Amino acid sequence: MSESLRNIWTIAKRELVGYFNSPVAYVFIVIFLLLNGFFTFMLGNYFLRGEANLNAFLMWHPWLYLFLVPAAGMRLWAEERRVGTLELLLTMPISAWQAILGKFVACWIFIALALFLTFPVVLTTMYLGSPDVGTMLTGYLGSVLLAGAYLAVTVMTSAMTRNQVISFILSVVICFFLILAGWEPVTDLLVRWAPEWLVNIVSSFSVMPHFSDFQRGVVDFRDLLFFGSVIAFCLFGTSVVLRSLRAA
């Protein structure tokens, strides 16, 4: 393992241990699983659909992640700034990028673990019918990438402030925009006063059509590029913020 990867993993391991040394991690996982079950089986009418797929399960993830992912990631940098350990971290023999990736990877693994614990929904679907396993796998892949995009936004907002609540609110607002940007009522409203090219640009920021492709079992390079671009841009934004703090 290269020195760079070793440093990233060291930071990630430190963050993961910090999560599971706190009851907050277990509370988050329990709430995530309970809400997933409620939205899937109650609001999603899972048993009344008569379909052997995960649509009733996956359709709620953009809205569940809207609050749960910022709640999981809002402390990543805000807490470091609040307690005054940010300066110490940035003076360690690691680069800012390694610290950013380490924290991001740790929280992403934590959220992916919470998602993996929803496997009883998959087992139930396979018991009740003969679902397309490939479609279920791509649905989970899309969910992980969606969570990663929301998390990258949260990492950036967390670096902007030492207040976790402000970080949470900022990331919820930005992620909410990423949901609504391509929503038909919103685009219809924009068409009334904005030129078509501007409406097309705004709607291109929406996560919904890209996530929907994964739900249908389609793995398109453009969807992978979209989520990868959101993650890369937000992590780059985080590095810019941290560089300004180091220079201050």
| CA–CA gap between residue 77 and residue 25 (Å, rounded) | 17
The SS3 assignment for 118 reads coil
CA atoms within 13 A on the CB side of 4: 6
Asked whether 65 and 147 are in contact (CB, 8 A), the reply is: yes
Buried b (16+ CB within 10 A) or exposed e, 126-160: eeeeeeeeebbebbbebbbbbbbbbbbbbbbbbbb
Domain range for 226: 3-247
Domain count, the chain: 1
Say what the pLDDT of residue 22 is. Answer: 83
Say what the pLDDT of residue 247 is. Answer: 60
Q: How many residues does the chain have?
A: 248
Query: What are the average pLDDT values for consecutive 10-residue runs of the chain, which has 248 residues?
Result: 83 88 89 93 82 88 94 88 76 83 94 94 88 92 97 95 92 93 74 75 84 91 95 95 76
